[in-house]
Structure 1
Amino acid sequence: MTAQKAQLEQQLWNIANTLRGKMDADDFRDYILGFIFYKYLSKKMELYANEILAPDKLSFSQLSGHAQEAVYMAAVKDAALDKLGYFLEPSELFSELARRGNAGGKHQFILADLAKVLTHIEQSTMGTESEDDFGNLFEDLDLTSSKLGKSENDKNELIVKVLTHLDEIDFDLENTESDILGDAYEYLIGQFASGAGKKAGEFYTPQQVSNILAQLVTVGKDKLKSVYDPTCGSGSLLLRVAKQVKEVSSFYGQEMNPTTYNLCRMNMIMHDVHYKKFDIKNEDTLERPQHTDLRFEAIVANPPFSAKWSASPLFTTDDRFSDYGKLAPSSKADFAFVQHMVHQLDTNGTMAVVLPHGVLFRGAAEGHIRKYVIKNYNYLDAVIGLPANIFYGTSIPTCILVLKKQRADKKEVLFIDASQNFEKVKTQNVLRDEDIQAIINTYKAYTNGQFTEAEIEKYSHVATLAEIKENDYNLNIPRHLDTFEEEEPVDLVAVSKELQELAEQSKSTDDTIANFCKELGINTPF
């Protein structure tokens, strides 16, 4: 399975590179992921239609021209809209468009037909329960863009080439136990993120970090009623949580960037999350939250670091912020996201959020909010310091805050310093499997009340609330955990002897140069 997955990932990346050089990373990402998604929808449609038609010994491709074509097509459409959330006719399937594009051994013009098919996928859902989940999904796949080529024929030639290559790949969708395609899609998103520089943080959380967050919020659970990400990007965090448990009943998310919002919905569907099980909204979470009437069992997030927000005085009466008496500063929305997540967290829920290190010690309004969360609510459960340079587009060190509402009479907070545990890969620092496992094992021991096992010299400390109060609610990890490493003593006698030897070697070299200069009849350079 691993070899098959690696092969598929490489095949898809090779096809993506067909578009490389024609446009920048963001643009060819949108095209290749859009076409892969179109092929996925087509194959799912064909497989489901064949399943419905099997009792009548028919296949989907055989309906065209059948005496009862209209009756069968109407029945298939109704079933597909309920089961899959969309409908495609046999002539609109990916394989059919790819075939027509290569009819007669030459590239035929299919751009107009392809544009109509992509529009029809969205239109087929209008007035149905899935309309919001499929609306405008392909709006970033602009087939008229000059980025595809100067002339219509140039554009068509490139698109046909990409569709042909994709059509040759078996997505293995018949294997219901496999999620190879979903993982490959996630791999491509990560590849684009790593090459997109600063913009990458808008839509992708590195899998190593997603893995930690997902495991933290699922400790002791094998099922979740709901999981929520208020800045869901491409949805990688939500999907990673699903991999940690047997079942997630509902997925919720909000994403401000329209392109990334579309990518998230595609990613959900590509991982076979039924459209009735996810609710992703395209809005600014802090300014216009869409799920405020709901409470979630698990919340994960990687909000944009120190983003700006309005901090409008009107928010002082907003239920998310009113208890605290102060709003996060307009120049740094980090704690505004924390407050929002705390408000949405269910009584038995756990939330884990990645933030810049500054949230641990900055003062003023942020210090006030931090103190309120710890002293008044007693929700803070753990503080985990991560290595610098593990996120795409920024080298700043980050941390994870874990918060719970059901801490009862718990009077301790776990501190973990994982900042020195990583492997350097090219220009990026990467958390290895053993680094991730060390974090999770330490947190599990702490959660189970095994404080002795959770206390690891130079790595972790279970601090009391009294200790945190003594530090004036400053959570900077070195204040609570001794991470000082003594340097080996310097042998001054040995250093002195080494310097003397160097001086003698230098004098010998100078004498040699002086002799050469004398023989050449020139002045010495010293």
Structure 2
Amino acid sequence: MTDINFINQTKALIDNLKSVCANYGLGNDGNEFKIITQVFLYKFLNDKFRYEAKKVNPTLAEADNFQQALENLSEDEYNFLTVLIGADIPQLRPQHMITYLYNNQNQEDFAKLFDDTLRQISLENAEIFSIKSSSGAKDKMFDELSQFISDGSQRDAFCRALVNKLFEFSFEKMFEEKYDFFATIFEYLIKDYNTDSGGKYAEYYTPHAVARIMAKILAPDPVSGVKCYDPSAGSGTLLMSIAHQIGEENCTIYSEDISQKSSNMLRLNLVLNNLSHSIPNIIKTNTIAEPTYLNEKFDYIVSNPPFKLDFSDFREDLQKDAFKDRFFAGIPNVPKTKKESMAIYLMFIQHIMYSLSDKGKAAIVLPTGFITAQSGIEKKIRQAMIERGWLRGVVSMPSNIFASTGTNVSVVFLDKNADNEHIVLMDASKLGTTVKDGKNQRTVLTQDEEEKIIETFNNKEAVEDLSVVVSKEEIIAKNYSFSAGQYFEVKIEYVDITPEEFQQKMNDFETRLATLFAEGNALDQEIQKQLKGLKYE
């Protein structure tokens, strides 16, 4: 099945679940998002278990009726099955399967059976599949979804409707794919609930092209046993790209994000991408104020942090001695107006630099204004990147590469073992094609353009009007500017002409100037004439 078919089927499932919620009075209700995301999690766990069980048990794989074959297993056979599929895979019993609920949907008090099933799955899989907060408390994977229906007489029907929608198709065939396109589903699912319209803690989506470019530049060579981290992970698009590039079996994922929505979606993403072993490393927290991984160091860090955010509530706490090493360049002041304009991305950059291991590498999406700011915290950070010898290069992206924001962005690449004589600065702003994306304009890069950016950067090539390769000393001489445009050569084209052609051009210039002067004099005289004619009334 192609990516587009999968995306379309998944969007159809989302629409169907929204329709169920609407039919039972929960359309645009505050609980609708919880219901849909939790039902999705149940669906993914169910299909992942079926997929893995069939891989290790030929009887289940060949059975015409998987549910019946699973129920026919003895206790010992079932226990052996769970050992074979491994602890990182959802552990579901026959009575936990969607098919079981579907087959028993006409029994009395079906809503209780539905809620009890999800509760049992949650309890038996909490060790791997629950998300922790900064306090160490684990989330409850599933609420009692039927209880969101205030009319008790409708609860059985509501749960039946949900199960019937889940029964219609399976994700099983998708588990062999690389889910770089999961962000499309996340965006489609969450867009109706992102009511802040870009305000406090609203979620954004990193375009797949940007995520792929970051991953392929960051990790061009094979590695193993590395730790990858995103301090503002969202749904995990950047983490998935770097994990696919490195190999899921070669890395462990760590993440922090303040949004419960995003953390829940990241959990789904890890289930889909054979990274369930990293779910315990997803932390819901305020990374800047209450970092869980403050004492950890990471080999690869990717981040598209929020650019502007009001963090005045905890700014003063960040000035304590405990944070001074982390925020070496300073903390933005609280403006008298528009507190939401506080440049929190500057805090994330410093946090990322603090969190790199001795061999660490990072790729950070930043507003392009950061790379040329003449003073302030921005310049102090750039200066530190250069003086420490960590800057590998910068790629300035086309405008509107993000549909959700018109801010021009650049990606800064750090490497603690960077080549300071060959720093690549790239201006890719002229690449891409503008397309309509809902009410917004978005710039889309072709695959060839993606590869051009990646290969030019990794090969350290200077390409006319695209990239320059400069040294640490040259950047210092340019006041630590990371803008490729400031290093491009200014080319003046010379055209050979004869003495006669030169004289003719000069005569033409003189004639044109004489005409302009004459017209100017005539205008002056007319103005003076009009002024003399003015009278006081």
Match of 1:508 in 2: none
> Deviation of residue 191 (structure 1)?
2.7
Match of 1:380 in 2: 391
The CA distance in 2 between the partners of 1:14 and 1:319, in whole Å, is 47
Label 1:338 to 1:153 Cα distance change in 2 as closer, same or farther (>3 A). Answer: same
> Deviation of residue 360 (structure 1)?
1.8
The CA distance in 2 between the partners of 1:335 and 1:141, in whole Å, is 41
Match of 2:442 in 1: 429
Label 1:482 to 1:431 Cα distance change in 2 as closer, same or farther (>3 A). Answer: farther
Gaps of 5+ in 1: 447-453, 487-491, 493-526
Q: 2:456 aligns with which of 436, 439, 442?
A: 442
User: Given residue 221 of structure 1, which amino acid in structure 2 is its aligned partner?
Assistant: P
User: Given residue 117 of structure 2, which amino acid in structure 1 is its aligned partner?
Assistant: V
Contact 1:414 1:463 in 2 (8 A): yes
Which residues in structure 2 correspond to 1:49-64 (within 5 Å)? 61=68
The CA distance in 2 between the partners of 1:159 and 1:131, in whole Å, is 23
The CA distance in 1 between the partners of 2:431 and 2:384, in whole Å, is 31
The CA distance in 1 between the partners of 2:221 and 2:240, in whole Å, is 19
The CA distance in 1 between the partners of 2:489 and 2:320, in whole Å, is 39
Match of 1:460 in 2: 467
The CA distance in 2 between the partners of 1:297 and 1:44, in whole Å, is 29
Match of 2:362 in 1: 351
Label 1:483 to 1:165 Cα distance change in 2 as closer, same or farther (>3 A). Answer: farther
Match of 1:257 in 2: 259
Contact 2:216 2:245 in 1 (8 A): yes
User: Given residue 350 of structure 1, which amino acid in structure 2 is its aligned partner?
Assistant: K
Match of 2:297 in 1: 295
The CA distance in 1 between the partners of 2:138 and 2:486, in whole Å, is 50
Which residues in structure 2 correspond to 1:511-526 (within 5 Å)? none
- Paired residue secondary structure (1:324): coil
The CA distance in 1 between the partners of 2:12 and 2:216, in whole Å, is 33
The CA distance in 2 between the partners of 1:192 and 1:25, in whole Å, is 14
Q: 2:43 aligns with which of 39, 60, 83?
A: 39
> Deviation of residue 131 (structure 1)?
5.4
Which residues in structure 2 correspond to 1:189-268 (within 5 Å)? 189-192=186-189, 196=194, 198=198, 202=203, 204-221=205-222, 223=224, 225-247=226-248, 248-268=250-270
Match of 2:343 in 1: 332
> Deviation of residue 39 (structure 1)?
2.1
The CA distance in 1 between the partners of 2:218 and 2:43, in whole Å, is 34
The CA distance in 1 between the partners of 2:151 and 2:157, in whole Å, is 10
The CA distance in 1 between the partners of 2:296 and 2:441, in whole Å, is 38
The CA distance in 2 between the partners of 1:205 and 1:473, in whole Å, is 27
TM-score (norm 2): 0.74
Match of 2:166 in 1: 166
- Paired residue secondary structure (1:468): helix
The CA distance in 1 between the partners of 2:51 and 2:407, in whole Å, is 47
Match of 1:371 in 2: 383
The CA distance in 2 between the partners of 1:240 and 1:119, in whole Å, is 32
Q: 1:413 aligns with which of 413, 417, 423?
A: 423
Label 1:166 to 1:484 Cα distance change in 2 as closer, same or farther (>3 A). Answer: farther
The CA distance in 2 between the partners of 1:84 and 1:300, in whole Å, is 24
User: Given residue 189 of structure 1, which amino acid in structure 2 is its aligned partner?
Assistant: F
> Deviation of residue 251 (structure 1)?
0.9
Deviations 1:263-291 (A, max 9, x none): 11121012221325762111111111122
- Paired residue secondary structure (2:404): coil
Match of 1:391 in 2: 402
User: Given residue 472 of structure 1, which amino acid in structure 2 is its aligned partner?
Assistant: N
Label 1:320 to 1:46 Cα distance change in 2 as closer, same or farther (>3 A). Answer: farther
Q: 2:148 aligns with which of 132, 137, 145?
A: 145
Contact 1:234 1:261 in 2 (8 A): yes
- Paired residue secondary structure (1:198): coil
Label 1:122 to 1:313 Cα distance change in 2 as closer, same or farther (>3 A). Answer: closer
Match of 2:120 in 1: 120
User: What percentage of aligned pairs have identical amino acids?
Assistant: 20
TM-score (norm 1): 0.76
User: Given residue 257 of structure 1, which amino acid in structure 2 is its aligned partner?
Assistant: S
Q: Structure 1 residue 95 and structure 2 residue 99: aligned?
A: yes
Q: 1:474 aligns with which of 472, 481, 484?
A: 481
Contact 2:46 2:92 in 1 (8 A): yes
The CA distance in 1 between the partners of 2:408 and 2:398, in whole Å, is 6
Q: 1:11 aligns with which of 9, 13, 20?
A: 9
Q: 1:83 aligns with which of 75, 80, 87?
A: 87
Q: What is the total number of aligned residue pairs between the two structures?
A: 464
Q: 1:269 aligns with which of 268, 271, 275?
A: 271
User: Given residue 260 of structure 1, which amino acid in structure 2 is its aligned partner?
Assistant: S
User: Given residue 110 of structure 1, which amino acid in structure 2 is its aligned partner?
Assistant: F
Contact 1:286 1:337 in 2 (8 A): yes
Match of 1:497 in 2: none
- Paired residue secondary structure (1:121): helix
Label 1:151 to 1:245 Cα distance change in 2 as closer, same or farther (>3 A). Answer: same
- Paired residue secondary structure (1:461): strand
Match of 2:308 in 1: 306
Deviations 1:465-515 (A, max 9, x none): 3332233223344333469999xxxxx9xxxxxxxxxxxxxxxxxxxxxxx
Contact 2:435 2:442 in 1 (8 A): yes
- Paired residue secondary structure (2:407): coil
User: Given residue 119 of structure 1, which amino acid in structure 2 is its aligned partner?
Assistant: R
Deviations 1:45-104 (A, max 9, x none): 34555777768999764676x7x9666666666777x52454333222112223333x49
Contact 2:48 2:89 in 1 (8 A): no
